[in-house]
Each structure stands twice: as C-alpha cells, then as structure tokens.
Chains A and B, each alone.
Chain A
C-alpha cells in the first residue's frame, strides 16, 4: 500500500547529504530515517549547524540527497528532477521562512496573491485579502514589505503559506528574526491556522518552548537524529 494512503505524508530513509568543502567532504546529514503522518505537527530541533535546514530542504524537495530516499505525498523525490519535484510541491506544500522571503517589489496583498495566481485560481485577490484579514493585516494590504514590521512581514508570509491550502507546511525558524513577544504572536497564528486547516506542520526550531507545541520532536545533532519523542 502506498505510504500516503497509510497516512504518511513525508518520509525519509537513510537520508544523507554530503558537500565538498575546502577541507574535504562534509557530512551535513547522515542516515536520517523518519515518517511524518498527515495532520501531524513535528518539531525538528537542534543547534545551529546541526543540519535542520538541510533536512527540511530535502524533505520539501528543494535539494537532492547524496544518498537515501525521500517520499513526499507518495512521490519519490530523489528520483525526480528539479521540475518533477516542483510539480509535487505545487499546491501541496507551503513554506514559512526565518527571513520571511517576501518579494520586495510586491505589496502584501500581491505577495499573498502570487501562489494563487501561479495556480491560476479564479479569485486570487479575494482569497488573498481574506487571508490577510485573517492574520490581522486587513489594513496593510497595499504596503510593501519594507513598510511593515518584522512581525507583520512574517504574518504576510504565513498568509501566503496557507493561501494554497497546502497539505503540508514547512516552517524554518519562523520566529528567528523576531523578538520574543512578536514571535509568540506569530507562532500562535501559525498554530491556529494549522489547526483550522488541518495542515501537517514540520517546524524547524531551536526553541524548546515553540517545539513544545508540537506533538512529535526529532532532535538533530551533527546531522543525525539523536532522539525522538
């Protein structure tokens, strides 16, 4: 039976990533095995340089492993080329990044509209406006990213991530660039939306408090999963 019908949305088997450096080959990830089921909230926890972002990049198909298998929504990502992986992501995967990754030439509304427009949906403007209102930015629609505070920018990014009603959301240190109060509000919002929309959440963080809000925890150290709770 295919994994995703088993309820597994993303899995990795013996996943490794090795890069060449001036000092020789460096293993960023080694032999990672995991399974994440649909609707789960999983925190990947580790210190800086432990390989968290690399892992999330591989799970989302943004990069290719040196060795091992990655399956997302029933598709073997490691067997697909870049375009094939993009097709798997399309409409299914949402992202929230530490550095927000909003497009500076676009307004808040246009940033949220972008994935909807890309998918050719009928009413991108209406949907994007509703989402921005939902994240509390109904009055900042026409503001450009540089006119928004960090917290506001991340809220726009969250709205964008949920715009396509993804089945899985990858969040990479979503509060890393925010002060703790703002970060807490952003995390509340992220989890609220996640609950409302029953999205699978894979959250990368080094903050134990945030990780505590997830049901499962994977501890990463020097590229290996050292603990699972």
Chain B
C-alpha cells in the first residue's frame, strides 16, 4: 500500500516539476538519445534489409556455398529444416561448338528457382535493350553472353553443341546475379538448365566442377544455418554472404555500419553528458525538497521511493517520444529515398523500439542515477543551514555507472567491443588531458584581462572566478564540438571516398582481346566517338607454377592449394609505372630504362600464397617457363572498375609472348549501339557490360549516404542538448548574480555584453580543445576503424574555435536573456 501511495505521490511531484519546467533539458536529452538510437536502429534494420536485399541480388542468394565437391545430403537437409529456400548451380568449363568454330566457355547449369534473389537480365538480340527474367532458360535452350555469340558468329535461334547435347540459343545473357567481381578472368558465360547436364556427358569423375548451393530465407533462419554449417566446412568449401568484406559493397556496408554504430554511440554519450548535467541540476534544485521531506519524517528509502519512480516515468515517457521521433526520422528518409528502395521490402521490425526504450532507461540510469542518489543523503539539517549539501558521489560511481551504461548500449548496438572500448578509453583519457589543458588555456587567457573593456572584463572575471565550473563547461562544450567535428569530418571523407570510388564517369564496360594490330584502330574509334577510356594494358595469359623452385601446390598451405589463382590461368601484364589505383606497400618499382624479369605481386594474393620480396616465381606461359623475381608488393583497388592485375611484369619480360590488350570505358545508356559498331569493326574484341552492377552499387551507396546524413543530425542535436544543459547548469547562479549586479547599478547592456564575452571566450577555448581532440580521435578512427587515408585536419583548427566562439556565444547570449529580463526583486526573493 505504502509503495502504491508513494508511487502516486511521485507521479504528482513529477507533474508539478514538469509544470515548473525543471525537467525539460533532462527530457530533451533522453528524447535525443533515444531518438538517435531508435532512428539508427530502425534505419540500420531497414537499410540492412534493403542492402542485403540488393547485395543478395548481386550474389543471387542470401548465402552461397561454393566448392569443388558436392556437399553431403545432410547439409541441404539442414537448410530445408531451417525453412530456407535453396537451389543449386554447376559451373564448369567446356567447349561450345557451332559447326567448325569452337569457343571455350564457362558454363553454368542452374537448378529450378535460380536465382533466389535478384534477377537475370537477357536481351532478345545482341546489344538490344535487356529485361529482367527470374527463371533459368527452359530445358533444351541456353542463354549466352555476347562474347560467345560474337566468337561463334551466332544469331538468336542458332543451335550449339556442349558435349553431346545440342541446345538452342534463345536469348543474350547480359547480367547474372553472383558474377559481380568475377568478370573477364573467366571464359564467357553460357547458362543452361541443370536438367540438361547429364545429356552433355561432360561431367565425369575427376572433372573440374564448381558446385554452387544457393540459400535464401529469413535472417534468423539464415544465421542458424550459417552457425550450423560453418564448423562443418572443409577447405574445399567457401561460404559467401553479402557481407563479405572483400567486395566493394561489403566494405561500404562495413564502413557504414561502423560509422552508424560509432555515431549512435557518440550521440548516446553526448546525450548522456546532457542527462548527467540535467540530473545534477535537478538534484541540486531538489536538495531542499529532500531536506524538507526528511524533516517531515521521510526515511532515505522514502526519498528514493519518491524520486526513482519519477525518473522511471520520465525516462519511459521521454523514451516513448524518442522512439516516435526516431521512427518518424527514418520514415522520412526512406520516403525521400523511395525511388531507390527495392519494391516489396518489408518495413522495419519492432526490435529498435524495444531497444530504444531500453537505451533511454539505461542511459538515464547510468548518467542520472549518481546525482539523483545524492538526494537521499541530503541532511535534514539543511532546512536550518542551507549551505549543507550532500557529499558528492564518488568519482568511480559517476564514471563507472556512465561507462557501464555506454558499454551495455555499445555491446548491443555496435557489436564491436574493440571500437567501443577504444572510444570509451580514448574519451576518458582525452577528458582528463583536456581538463588539464582547459585549465592551462584559462590561465593563459587571463593575460587578455588588461586589454579589454569593463563589460568584457566582468565576463572574463566570471570565467576565472569559477575555475572548476568553467573547466567543466569548456570540457562539455569542447566534447560536444569535438563529437560534431569528428562526425562531420568522417561523414565528408566517407562520402568523398564513396563518390571518388565511383565517380559519374566510372568505366562501366570492359573491352578486351584487343589484338596488337587493332590497338591503334580501337584507340582511334574511342577518340572519334569521344569515349574516355582507361589506359590500354597488355595481357598475357599464364599460370603460376612454382614459388622459389617448389611447385605451388606444395609451396602454399593446404587451405590455399585450392586457390583460384593457382587453378586457372592468370592475366599477366606489364607496365613501366605503377597503375593509378595501385599502391606499393613493399619493395620498389623498376626504372623505366631497366630490364630484367621482375614482377610486382598484388598484396592479398602474395599474403595468401606466402610470397615475399625477392622470391622467385615461375610462370608457365604458352608452354614455356618464365622465371621472375618479386620486386614489389602492391595493393589494388579492385572495385575501381579499372583493369587490374595480380601480376605486373617489368616491360620486356613478357615481350616474347603473344599479348592482347584490355581497356575499360564509360558509356552512357544512349551510346549502347556503339558497342555493335565496335565489335563489327574489330571482330576479335570482346565487350563486357558492367553498367547493371555499377547501378546497383550506386543505389546502395546512396542509401548509406542518406543514413550517414541522418545520424549526423542526431549527433548535432545531442551536441546542442549538451550546450543547453551546460548553460542551464549555471543559470541559477547567473540569475542571482545578474539580479544582484542590477541592484548595484549595472545596466542590462553591460550585463549582456559581459555574458557575450564570457560565452565567446568559453566557446573559443572549447573550440581549441575540440580541435585537439578531433585531430587525435580522427587519426585513430581513420587509421584503425575506417581504413581511410588520414591527413592533418588543419581546417578544424580554424573552424572549431571560430564556430565554438560563434555558436556558444550565441547560445549563451540568448540562453541568458532571461537573466537580465526578470525583475531583480523576483529573483532575489526566490533565492
């Protein structure tokens, strides 16, 4: 009964406090924290669905299992038991025959239902507009890529032979889900029905076949299946999902998720700081209430029982509002992006709401509980001696509970403990260091004292008189500015990275098999049509056979002996300079004048195969052996849509071997007919169309960009909450002093000028502090978490103090307006 009674009284007290405006900042901070968490939660949820959906389109499934051997039947059974849809593919290399012409093709035989996600695209004729088809070809028919049709001189309706089976070409295959990233290294594609494979008779024991198993279904089912399957995989099997970080989409997704995670964490920390400040002020303004309650016979438990439910109710109400705000924010963004959104995408689930509510309460508990619990320790004697304040809570309680709250949220939110721990530890260390530095700045700024007018002197005196409060405020403002700056910088650089990754004129077609005698003609063709191409790279096909004299299959680990690079012929090239999107990480590039058999190896392949500098590699090219010494290791930006190579030789090394040339270029949709002209003029040239894939990548990047913009808004809002909370924290004292000064003859203008001076200086100092913090944090984040190029952020050193001075000056100036507007009598009487 007593509990219920206390609860009702607590509600009434809460209503009274709300009416008196005591809770606004606290509530706003909770709303912002929850809004950020929920919006990002919703957004992540939907974005993930959208991106997974679209990325799955690139993969043809949610999950793909590939291997050189068929999988045990129980694996497929396990997928069925977990409600997953599935289909199979077989990939093998075979010769396609048409009369006396032969073409080596990479044949894919697809099972029913292929693809499970996304669609195939086919055209009724060569380079005719294509359309989506979500079924594989009908039995007895095949679809072939333009290259096959060109090479064999086929028309639609022609009959071809694969092994023993005769099949009819019914359409031109222009896009196939799952082929992203594996383009021209393979022979051109022919797509057939799996049911037709036995008739061909090409698959015999020992044949090299790639077995593909495609799965799709609900996220939870997929996760359960993946968890079940992963420990059972052998080195012959590889599980691919859309989050594979080696793909450009995977990397964009991973970075975006890290950014969203980090940003939401910062929004929560900032809102937490605002909550802590709000709670502290609330606590201080309620010491009298607590003392009076104790006087009237309330025990410490009664006091807690009265204040805790108030915070619980406030937390719930503000969290609910925050959830609504978060939902609205992501709905708005998704509405604006509706053109880009894939049709039929389910709306976000309810998990973000539950998590938002939880986040609100956890943040409130972590940041507000220590100042709140001080209330129970207020001595009743305070009614007689007002100066008696309860002992401040122990520092470990304050920081410990806040850190615990952040950790709990971060664990659930980012799933990245390393990132969270780094941010937390960094923030704590930075806070201490910056507090010391703020003190130093404050001392240095005292030198200004003699050179300014009365109002400014008074304003500055205010800063120095309350050194601890001022340091606290500089820190709070600095942290808010720093978070805003870090997030804004990261946003800009992430977006720039994505945009430069795929500028509007990104090559969307590859032309290869350009014969040496056609190089001039092809270049003239592109020049005449004003089509910009990348450089022309020579290409010689060869196989890596030995590393330091040992056959590669023995030289590398067992897991890597199945590596594609060892199984197939590699495209070898040569260059006298480092190609534009390559970067040397070890060794040195050769002089243009030098000669010799030296080679530069792509870093990831080198690491996988254990190749180091000065190793001797042996290649088999056109039946001959070519030794080469590793001169450098380099990284390659595979997703640049530029021609790139695992192995680049010193010019001259490959001269004895027949080479063809390769280039990539950008074509606008209305220029498509030029492709027909090109292949007619140069029949050996093969064109690979990448525009569909590129368009999909762009859609995903657009969505990620929108997400990044959205969360930035929340960090800014949280930053402002901190500004207002810090301002409100000192407002009571300012009211009193303002009233006192006015009774002593200070006029409103002088007071306002003093306030402006104080806040501008606070802002500039906070901005300086923010610049230091930003530089440090940005360095760590860029190099450790986001894999971005770091450069000295000099504009921040200018912008942060200026923006800080202007922003905090303005906020402070207007925020303290009431101090000079209220009648001094009212203020003095109230205090």
Instruction: Kindly name the residue among B2, B292, B386 whose own CB sees the greatest number of chain A CB atoms within 10 A.
Output: B292
Query: In the complex, which residues of chain B have a beta carbon less than 8 angstroms from the beta carbon of A97?
Result: 383-384
Residues of A within 8 Å of B20, CB to CB, are: 104-105
Bound CA span A17–B386, Å:
19
Contacts of B288 in A (CB 8 A): 101, 103
B16/A62 in contact, CB under 8 A: no
- Are B386 and A99 in touch, CB under 8 angstroms? yes
**Are A110 and B301 in contact, CB atoms less than 8 angstroms apart?**
no
The residue that A105 contacts in the complex, of B16, B296, B385, with Cβ under 8 A, is: B16
Residues of B within 8 Å of A120, CB to CB, are: 1-2, 5
| Interchain CB contact under 8 A, A86 and B299 | yes
Closest to B21 in A: A105
The verdict on A86 contacting B5 (CB below 8 Å), with A56-B384, A63-B381, A146-B830 known, is no
Q: Closest CB of chain A to B177's CB: distance in Å?
A: 64
Greatest chain A CB density within 10 A among B1, B292, B383, B384 is at: B384
B292 touches A86 (CB 8 A): no
- Chain A contacts with B in 93-123, Cβ cutoff 8 A: 93, 95, 97, 99, 101, 103-106, 110, 114-115, 117-120
Task: Tell me if A227 counts as interface (CB < 8 A to partner B).
Answer: no
Chain B interface: which size bin?
20 to 34
Known contacts A104-B830, A146-B829; A83 and B301 CB within 8 A of each other: yes
A62 touches B380 (CB 8 A): yes
B 540-582 to A, binary, CB cutoff 8 A, 1 in contact else 0: 0000000000000000000000000000000000000000000
From residue B14, how far is it (CB to closest CB) to chain A in Å? 11
A91 interfacial by beta-carbon distance below 8 Å:
yes
> A14 contacts the other chain (Cβ, under 8 Å)?
no
B379 to A: closest C-beta gap in Å: 7
Q: Are B297 and A93 in contact (CB under 8 A)?
A: yes
With an 8 A cutoff between CB atoms, is B666 at the interface? Answer: no
- Assess the B297–A89 pair: CB atoms within 8 A: yes
- Separation of A119 and B22 alpha carbons in the complex (Å): 25
Pairwise interchain contact A118-B297, C-beta atoms closer than 8 A: yes
CB distance from B292 to the nearest CB of A (A): 6
Q: Shortest distance in angstroms between B11's beta carbon and chain A's nearest beta carbon?
A: 11
Q: Which residues of A contact B295 (CB under 8 A)?
A: 60, 62, 89, 93, 95
Given A57-B384, A106-B16: A83 touches B300 (CB 8 Å cut-off): yes
Q: B593 an interface residue at 8 Å Cβ cutoff?
A: no
- Given A53-B384, A63-B381, A86-B298, A117-B9 contact (CB < 8 Å): yes
Chain B contacts for A89, CB-based, 8 A = 295-297
Instruction: Render A109-143 as a binary contact track against B, CB cut-off 8 A, 1 for contact.
Output: 01000110111100000000000000000000000
Measured between beta carbons, the chain A residues less than 8 angstroms from B302 are 86, 118
The answer to whether A105 and B381 touch (CB under 8 A), given A86-B294, A117-B12, is no
Q: Taking CB as reference atom, which chain B residue is nearest A105?
A: B20
Residue of A nearest to B297 (CB): A90
Interface presence of B289 (CB below 8 A):
yes
Question: A125 → chain B, closest Cβ, in Å?
Answer: 10
Question: How far is it, in angstroms, between the C-alpha of A103 and the C-alpha of B383 when the chains are bound?
Answer: 11
Give the number of A-B contacts (CB < 8 Å). 88
- Pick the contact of B379 from A62, A88, A105 — CB < 8 Å? A62
Flag whether A78 is at the interface (Cβ < 8 A). Answer: no
Mask of B267-305 contacts with A, CB within 8 angstroms, 1/0? 000000000000000000000110111111111111000
Is there a chain B Cβ closer than 8 Å to A82's Cβ?
Answer: yes
Interfacial chain B residues near A61, Cβ < 8 Å:
380
Residues on A with C-beta less than 8 A from B830 are: 104, 145-146
Cα–Cα distance between A87 and B386 once the two chains are bound (Å) = 22
The interface residues of chain B lying within 8 Å CB-to-CB of A115 are: 296-297
Residues 54 to 89 of chain A near chain B (Cβ within 8 Å): 56-57, 60-63, 82-83, 86-89
Note all chain B residues with C-beta closer than 8 A to A83. Answer: 299-301
- Give Cα distance in the complex from A83 to B376, angstroms: 10
Q: How far is the CA of A57 from the CA of B20 in the complex (A)?
A: 31
Residues of chain B contacted by A53 (CB below 8 angstroms): 384-385
| A172 at the binding interface (Cβ < 8 Å) | yes
CB-defined contacts of B293 to chain A, threshold 8 Å? 114, 118
Question: Given A104-B830, A117-B9, A87–B384 Cβ distance below 8 Å?
Answer: no
Q: How many residues of A contact B (CB 8 A)?
A: 36
Residues of A within 8 A of B384 (CB): 53, 56-57, 62, 97, 172
Contact A105 B22 (CB under 8 A): yes
The answer to whether A90 touches B298, judged by C-beta atoms less than 8 angstroms apart, is yes
Query: Do residues A91 and B5 form an inter-chain contact, with CB atoms below 8 A?
Result: no
Smallest Cβ distance from B10 to chain A, in angstroms?
10
Candidate in B9, B301, B386 with the most chain A CB atoms within 10 angstroms: B9
Least distance between B693 CB and chain A CB atoms (Å)? 63
Are A95 and B383 touching (Cβ within 8 A)?
yes
**For the complex, is B17 an interface residue (Cβ under 8 Å from A)?**
yes
Chain A residue numbers with a CB within 8 Å of B17 are 105
Q: Which of B19, B299, B380 contacts A87 (CB 8 A)?
A: B299
Task: Tell me whether B671 is interfacial, beta carbon within 8 Å.
Answer: no
User: Does the CB pair B381–A57 fall under 8 Å?
Assistant: yes
Known: A63-B381, A105-B17, A120-B2. A86 touches B9 (CB 8 A): no
| A119, B2: Cα distance in complex, Å | 9
Residue from B2, B299, B385 whose CB has the most chain A CB atoms within 10 Å:
B299
Bound CA–CA A145/B380 (angstroms) = 21
Q: Are A86 and B826 in contact (CB under 8 A)?
A: no
Docked CA distance A166–B297 (Å): 12
Contact A101 B383 (CB under 8 A): yes
Most buried by B among A83, A93, A115, A164: A83
Residue from the list B22, B289, B380, B386 in contact with A86, Cβ < 8 A: B380
Give chain B interface residues in 332-369, CB to chain A under 8 Å: none
Say yes or no: A103-B289 contact (C-beta < 8 A), given A53-B384, A82-B300, A83-B301. yes
Give the complex CA separation of A63 and B385 in angstroms: 11
Tell me the residues in window 480-534 of chain B with beta carbons closer than 8 Å to chain A beta carbons. Answer: none
Bound Cα distance from A146 to B823, whole angstroms = 12
Distance of A164 Cα from B292 Cα, bound (Å): 14
Contacts of B298 in A (CB 8 A): 86, 90, 118
Chain B residues, CB < 8 A from A56: 384
Instruction: Give the residue of B9, B301, B381 whose beta carbon is less than 8 angstroms from that of A62.
Output: B381
Q: Among residues 30 to 59 in chain B, which have CB atoms less than 8 Å away from a CB atom of chain A?
A: none
Kindly list chain A residues whose C-beta atoms are within 8 Å of the C-beta of B289.
Answer: 103, 105
By a CB distance below 8 angstroms, the chain A residues around B22 are: 105
Min CB distance, A51 to chain B, in Å?
A: 12
Determine the chain B residues whose CB is within 8 A of the CB of A92 once the complex forms. 297
Q: Bound complex: CA of A62 vs CA of B388, how far in Å?
A: 12
CA distance A89 to B826 in the complex (A): 34
Known: A53-B384, A146-B826. A118 touches B300 (CB 8 A): no
Alpha-carbon distance A99/B294, docked complex (angstroms) = 17
Given A105-B16, A146-B830, are A62 and B383 also a contact pair (CB < 8 Å)? yes
Nearest chain A residue, comparing its CB with the CB of B296: A115
Specify which chain A residues have a CB less than 8 angstroms from the CB of B299 in the assembled complex. 83, 86-87
- Which among B289, B381, B385, B826 has the greatest number of chain A C-beta atoms within 10 A? B381
Q: From residue A197, how far is it (CB to closest CB) to chain B in Å? A: 17
12 interchain pairs, CB-CB under 8 A: A60-B295, A63-B381, A82-B379, A83-B300, A92-B297, A95-B383, A97-B383, A104-B830, A105-B22, A105-B289, A118-B9, A118-B302
Interface set of A (CB-CB < 8 Å, partner B)? 53, 56-57, 60-63, 82-83, 86-93, 95, 97, 99, 101, 103-106, 110, 114-115, 117-120, 145-146, 164, 172
Report which B residues bind A (CB closer than 8 A). 1-2, 5, 9, 12, 16-17, 19-20, 22, 288-289, 291-302, 379-381, 383-386, 826, 829-830
The 4 nearest A-B residue pairs measured at CB: A90-B297, A105-B20, A83-B299, A120-B5
